[in-house]
Structure 1
């Protein structure tokens, strides 16, 4: 916090670049050079004794490599320094238990990216309402899609400015991610109501007060099977099916050990573009309800889910084969499409921005416990969409996701709240502490 009532806020803004084929080729070469630089650093790290693994020695090594290898010189000097700092930071994260050990970056599996660490080199100018111009080292002035007001020109100062950027490539092309630092007024404590949220498949975000957030796309097809392409139109689904069959046909002619042909790789690229388009639509929808929830509610209570264990395959082994394998696989695809973890991440920073709180409660039995009588009776959750309490003295019946949302909020009221804090464990672990809840509103 720099001044009383003001807070420093750092965030990223992603924008699409409009590049010519020659510019795409230059940035592709830079990204491959950055990946090669990372792999060279990793090889150097493994070969050098522990006593000589220093930042200065590594810096001297990459300077010499850029002189000896011409294709490494295609990467700007500052971007090469950013690769060096990122590599050493990855080891620091590993030693402190926040991540696994860094490894080699494969050509086709690693994400292509180039860092621009100095914000002053960007020289961002807004051309008109839809487009802006940015300077990329060794590429020149290129256009990008202007969708958010950025602190550039007279609006930029030492507290509100762009500190750097990163070029990233996905199936839809190259994008630029600006690192923005701003000084904002600290939000007042949100006085909105409390709400419990259950992330489900039938209702994406079921709320305890029935203010459900639904994207209107059914999780299953008319034949009852899970719809893994629900974010695509029917025309796009037909095209995707045609491309997948085409790829399978082309792959049948490839002998073992042969490289992927350009024709097959082009088919794969078309499939990736459709998948990326579906993901972009899903993320766009997630931003809208999470912003609405953060603005409306002061306390948002969610489950602490272990999604990795939830989407584990039920196939089993040869000695002990699993049951309902196809049904479990369809459920796993539906869970993966809803991206519950990404929703919680959005709620985490958005509630903090609007002065609210995000609380996590234990997940066991929230979907099997009756929210009316409080008992967990076997057989109450026989249907995926409906909850029917089998307690003879209750008989409560409602939507299963709404019942779980009510249980989630009740756990917070009864003092089972968990606040996440950084832990010294492996990646994905968090240490928690119980907090006393405020009075229910």
Structure 2
């Protein structure tokens, strides 16, 4: 058996927790303590002279603060150490040029989370088909939704195990995100066909073979404006509009600097729940679609897009104001809702797991060039949805996104490829070759 037969993979799995109101208050207190620990650590690091900054000094400061303040002691010691580790990693990312300097975490804007760095403390047990139990520090045994087989109990070993978890709260409640490490056989090369994909707004994913992937939710309303709530049903849209009007009405009675009332906070929570439901539906469609593409095609070709520049505002400056600002803002919202970058990330690790390959090609002129004659003729892309070649010797016409997908696949076949990192090395999944002696 060759050395490349087995591959060690790391991925995440998120599950919903079933908590009582008392459990929710405990986890809320731990999350606020974790955020406060980060802020206090940031104060300590920025106010201490450089000659006295060290990991040991920061560790000693955290330990002393946990002894002096009871509201910090509600956070488990391992979670506090995880905050310290994450903070130092943030500075390393800044020094390496991968991110900006770490800053304070706001109570309103920051995500409430608590880290459980050691997987052996979880003691995961499957209760029955739909539910499992996990041990959470300073909380006890908690039920969670069992939607995926996890390497727990007798199935866990050195190579197939859960290395840790993170508790995360969103508008739908508390969830647990497991960090899973498994040892799997390296897949054989996928023998499926090649396909080019053009990410668009009218057609979310246009394929070069005509098998377009559409979620059936129009990006624009009949009046031409962007539909920011396209993942909600008509009744849910009516409810959202009513809640937003109630929030605006109640917000008008609040004085400057006054805390929002309980009714206003409840209205905000209902709005967040609807927004979170729409986000989960979009994620579900992306997961199902990318899984289908990874199982069907061996090579998937996409454009190398700079989405950050594509969604920049057209407002301009006071001296040089922009034009069509409202239309550009609607287009930016539609692009952001489609989450093209997340789709590419999903395709990357899913194709690697099925033996496929993701390839990127340059994006310029893929939507302006005719896929039949290969020429750039002015006026061929007059309509946003239709491409009509103005070359007298060609005259080909068809869907504009389909034309771009055919051009993307053609660029790959003639060798115009953009160098990208190795497939499978992304935030959701990592691959590591191991020796056959560790294979099970």
TM bin, normalised by shorter chain, reads over 0.9
Q: Distance in 2 between matches of 1:3 and 1:267?
A: 58
Match of 2:433 in 1: none
What SS does structure 1 have at the residue aligned with 2:370?
coil
Match of 2:263 in 1: 263
Match of 1:47 in 2: 47
Unaligned runs of 5+ in 2: 423-440
Q: Distance in 2 between matches of 1:319 and 1:253?
A: 38
Match of 1:84 in 2: 84
TM-score (norm 2): 0.93
Q: Distance in 2 between matches of 1:365 and 1:260?
A: 51
1:339 corresponds to 2:329? no
Match of 2:430 in 1: none
What SS does structure 1 have at the residue aligned with 2:418?
strand
1:73 corresponds to 2:55? no
Residues 209-242 of structure 1 show CA distances to partners (whole Å, capped at 9, x for unaligned) of 1111111112222333321111000100000001
Distance 1:4 1:369, change over 3 A: closer
Match of 1:409 in 2: 409
Point out 4+ residue stretches in structure 1 off by more than 4 angstroms. none
How far the C-alpha of 1:4 sits from its partner, in A, is 4.3
1:132 corresponds to 2:132? yes
1:24 corresponds to 2:24? yes
Q: Distance in 2 between matches of 1:379 and 1:271?
A: 44
TM-score (norm 1): 0.93
Unaligned runs of 5+ in 1: 423-441
Match of 1:60 in 2: 60
What SS does structure 1 have at the residue aligned with 2:301?
strand
1:382 corresponds to 2:382? yes
Q: Distance in 1 between matches of 2:80 and 2:89?
A: 14
Match of 2:196 in 1: 196
Match of 1:358 in 2: 358
Match of 1:178 in 2: 178
What SS does structure 1 have at the residue aligned with 2:420?
strand
1:271-420 aligned at under 5 Å gives the runs 271-420=271-420
What SS does structure 1 have at the residue aligned with 2:106?
coil
Residues 220-265 of structure 1 show CA distances to partners (whole Å, capped at 9, x for unaligned) of 2233332111100010000000111111111222233333333222
How far the C-alpha of 1:177 sits from its partner, in A, is 0.4
Match of 1:425 in 2: none
Match of 2:242 in 1: 242
Q: Distance in 2 between matches of 1:338 and 1:102?
A: 29
Q: How large is the RMSD of aligned CA atoms in angstroms? A: 1.4
How far the C-alpha of 1:390 sits from its partner, in A, is 1.8
Q: Distance in 2 between matches of 1:131 and 1:3?
A: 38
Match of 2:142 in 1: 142
Q: Distance in 2 between matches of 1:238 and 1:313?
A: 29
Q: Distance in 2 between matches of 1:355 and 1:372?
A: 31
Q: Distance in 2 between matches of 1:304 and 1:51?
A: 44
Distance 1:395 1:319, change over 3 A: same
Distance 1:250 1:307, change over 3 A: same
